[in-house]
Amino acid sequence: MRKMVQLEETCDDPVKLEAMKQAYRRGFKPLSNFNINEFVRNPALVQGAMDPEGPAVQSFPAVAVSRLLEGNRSFVEQHRIRGNEVGPDQRMNMISVATLLQECASNHAVAMWGRSTEGFASDPSMKGLIFVMTRMQIQMEHYPRWGDVVQIETWFQEDGKLAAQRDWVVTDAGSGRVLGRATSTWVMINMQTRRLSKFPEYMREKCECFQERPPRHAVVREQTRQKLPDLQLPAEIVGPIQVARRSDMDMNGHVNNVTYLAWAMETVPRDIYDDCHLYQMEIDYKAECLGGDLVESLASSCDTPDVLASNGAGPGALSFVHVLRRCQGEKVTELVRCRTTWRAGEPTVSSSDA
């Protein structure tokens, strides 16, 4: 009874107080050196506090602050995997990984140039110019689970006179194990004309101090920029018609890059999605999509590139080419072409959970 009174005097949160009372009634006995104030702040930290006969309740690990690394040549941040970023198996999928990479890239841009009202990947002095992604390639060896903390390192470098390249490496923050890698190509677009623009010289000078020297590549060069095959019609798989919603728009005024990936995944055969591991996704962005557009999703099986089958995807890998097309009456415009490559026997989602 004295301990109950002590709990009531120490804790003014009725929900937490009731949880601690129930734990005490079920047999939790504080040790002599037990700090009741610590228990009040976070009862889950005490082993067996909520279930003395079950496993210890563990809190999620802390997340470090994002920062530019020494020399300002790359940017790193940590992220705890949230519940809305995982599927029925409590693991991330390729869509949530791509979202995380995009967020990290935006944070890197802010760290370099400051926040802009122009949108993603824009320097305040760029005067209506923005960087737009034209291609992305993601390889995932392992998908992190809910509550895991991952560390993402990203950097960029010029790629000729009209393009820039951004790479990422995703690791487990605790062990340092590499979970995935990604690379992307970006070009500069005039927001008013929506046309391609050369990099202004002042931007080249401003970006020089942030670029990797010599160039560094997250994905093996021989595996990048593989030509995506044409989709022969009629397609083997026809997915549901998608409608570009207002909520799909990003701050640059068009459908977010990641939304296309989600649409493409709707054409993956169910047995492949259930029983295989999505190792790689390559995507070419060909035209922009705006709110209200109707988008057709098509897919067919295709060959896996030899360089990928022999190093990464492994023997027996399966690949599909996906095409998203905007339908405006009789006019059809290809928006995105994508290839997914799957490892056999490594399920991304358990069929029993889906």
CA distance 158 to 301: 34
Cα dihedral sign for 219, 222, 225, 228? negative
Retrieve residue 160's tokens.
């000729």
Exposed e or buried b per residue across 244-269, where buried means at least 16 C-beta atoms within 10 angstroms of its C-beta: beeebbeebebbbbbbbbbbbbebbb
Q: Tell me whether the omega of the peptide bond preceding residue 214 falls within 30 degrees of 0, making it cis.
A: yes
Return the bridge partners of 125, or none: none
List all residues 6 or more positions away from 125 whose beta carbon is below 8 Å from its beta carbon: 113, 202, 206
- Spot the catalytic one: 11, 104, 276, 289: 289
Comparing CA positions, the residue from 98, 78, 155, 29 lying closest to residue 281 is 98
Active site residue 35: no
Neighbouring CB atoms inside 10 A of 353's CB total 11
DSSP of 259-318, one letter per residue? HHHHHHHTTS-HHHHHHEEEEEEEEEE-S---TT-EEEEEEEEEPPPHHHHTTTS-TT-E
Active site residue 142: no
Contact 181, 218 (CB under 8 A): yes
Q: What are phi and psi of 214, to 5 degrees?
A: -70, 170
Coil/strand/helix, residue 188: strand
Which whole-number Å values give the CA distances from 89 to 159, 326, 354, in the listed order? 39, 33, 8
CA distance 127 to 189: 11
- Spot the catalytic one: 252, 256, 257, 302: 252
List all residues 6 or more positions away from 338 whose beta carbon is below 8 Å from its beta carbon: 228, 260, 261, 264, 281, 282, 283, 284, 321, 322, 323, 324
- Spot the catalytic one: 254, 256, 302, 322: 254
Active-site positions? 252, 254, 289
